[in-house]
């Protein structure tokens, strides 16, 4: 991969990377089309597909994660992706270096999924060094991840511009996610409660965060199989919690719907 990427560099091509874990859906498609728009038809669009084991804190989650490589390749072909980079393994047995961040990752997902962001940053750093892209595209669906990657790029001086695509949703509001296929039976219907909670918070501008969080937790947990991990109202720039819910702030939330852990977020 790196030899190929060095060739592109020498030829002066612009390269854009869309990192994914596969099981591609329309949300991924939208990031790919953003990538293509950025580098036009002469640029190189690389989609990486790699279920990164070190970012899974729950072995069950890693085992159950959907893997659909041949379908993914078909989607990439339809979207005129130039290269699908789908390595079997990116780690040596005795690997002893990782990328760690000490501020933005100490909250929210970082608290509930210990080691997750270190795994994400380490694999994204590897992908950046292998693909040598000028741009890399991430989804706003993983809002904290975008903040963490931007911080890594800033602090480690990666010469890469980060582009962010909006969250694509199903018609009933559920944010598209590779994990949605695991929502069997009536779990699929219950899962819409997350986006409905975001909508509810939009109607509650001016509320004190503590009260609204309590109310939303009750609202979500009215679903028989829903259990909230966290609900937080944050400043969009630094992800610090805010006391009063105001326009321009963001709600970030995570909940388990049966065995499936989902996250979502929205601008207020």
Residues taking part in catalysis:
28
CB 235 within 8 A of CB 249: yes
Contact between 188 and ligand AMP per CB under 6 A: no
Starting at the edge strand found earlier in the chain, the sheet holding 260-267 runs 226-234, 250-257, 260-267
Residue 198 or 212 with smaller CB distance to ligand AMP:
198
Contact between 263 and ligand AMP per CB under 6 A: no
What's the min distance (Å) between Cβ of 265 and ligand AMP? 11
CA distances to 5, 88, 264 from 254, rounded to whole Å, are: 37, 30, 7
Q: What angle do CA 107, 183, 214 make, to 5 degrees?
A: 40
What's the min distance (Å) between Cβ of 169 and ligand AMP? 7
Q: Helix and strand tally (H, E) in the chain?
A: 10, 8
Contact between 27 and ligand AMP per CB under 6 A: yes
Q: Which of 105, 167, 190, 249 binds ligand AMP (CB under 6 A)?
A: 167
Residue 150 or 215 with smaller CB distance to ligand AMP:
150
Q: Report d(CA 17, CA 10) in Å as an integer.
A: 17
Contact between 168 and ligand AMP per CB under 6 A: yes
Residue 27 or 266 with smaller CB distance to ligand AMP:
27
Q: Which of 105, 118, 136, 177 binds ligand AMP (CB under 6 A)?
A: 177
Q: Report d(CA 160, CA 150) in Å as an integer.
A: 10
Stretch of 61-69, 83-91, 139-147, 237-245 lying at the interface with ligand AMP (CB under 6 A): 139-147
Q: Report d(CA 98, CA 67) in Å as an integer.
A: 25
Contact between 45 and ligand AMP per CB under 6 A: no
Residue 118 or 209 with smaller CB distance to ligand AMP:
118
Question: Which residue reads 């979500």 in tokens?
Answer: 220
What's the min distance (Å) between Cβ of 52 and ligand AMP? 8
Contact between 113 and ligand AMP per CB under 6 A: no
The three-class DSSP label of residue 252 is: strand
CB 163 within 8 A of CB 34: yes
Contact between 126 and ligand AMP per CB under 6 A: no
Contact between 28 and ligand AMP per CB under 6 A: yes
Residue 49 or 245 with smaller CB distance to ligand AMP:
49
Residue 253 contacts by C-beta under 8 Å, 6 or more apart in sequence?
194, 197, 198, 216, 220, 228, 229, 230, 231, 232, 263, 264, 265
Contact between 175 and ligand AMP per CB under 6 A: yes
Task: Kindly list the residues in this chain that would bind ligand AMP in the complex (CB under 6 A).
Answer: 20-21, 27-28, 30-31, 138-139, 141-142, 165, 167-168, 175-178
């Amino acid at each position: 991969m790196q030899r190929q990427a060095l060739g592109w560099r020498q030829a002066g091509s612009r390269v854009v990377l869309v990192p994914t874990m596969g099981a591609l859906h329309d949300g991924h498609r939208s990031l790919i089309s953003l990538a293509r728009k950025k580098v036009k038809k002469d640029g190189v669009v690389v989609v990486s597909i790699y279920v990164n084991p070190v970012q899974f804190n729950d072995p069950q989650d890693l085992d159950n994660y959907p893997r659909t490589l041949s379908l993914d390749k078909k989607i990439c072909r339809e979207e005129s992706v130039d290269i699908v980079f789908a390595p079997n393994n990116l780690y040596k047995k005795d690997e002893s270096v990782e990328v760690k961040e000490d501020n933005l990752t100490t909250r929210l997902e970082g608290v509930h999924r210990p080691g997750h962001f270190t795994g994400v940053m380490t694999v994204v750093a590897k992908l950046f060094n292998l693909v040598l892209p000028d741009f890399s595209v991430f989804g706003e669906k993983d809002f904290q991840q975008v903040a963490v990657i931007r911080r890594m790029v800033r602090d480690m001086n990666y010469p890469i511009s980060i582009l962010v695509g909006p969250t694509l949703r199903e018609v009933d509001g559920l944010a598209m996610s590779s994990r949605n296929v695991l929502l069997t039976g009536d779990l699929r219907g219950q899962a819409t409660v997350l986006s409905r909670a975001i909508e509810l918070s939009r109607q509650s501008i001016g509320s004190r965060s503590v009260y609204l969080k309590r109310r939303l937790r009750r609202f979500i947990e009215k679903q028989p199989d829903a259990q909230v991990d966290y609900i937080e109202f944050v400043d969009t720039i630094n992800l610090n919690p805010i006391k009063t819910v105001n326009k321009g702030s963001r709600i970030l939330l995570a909940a388990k719907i049966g065995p499936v852990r989902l996250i979502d977020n929205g601008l207020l």
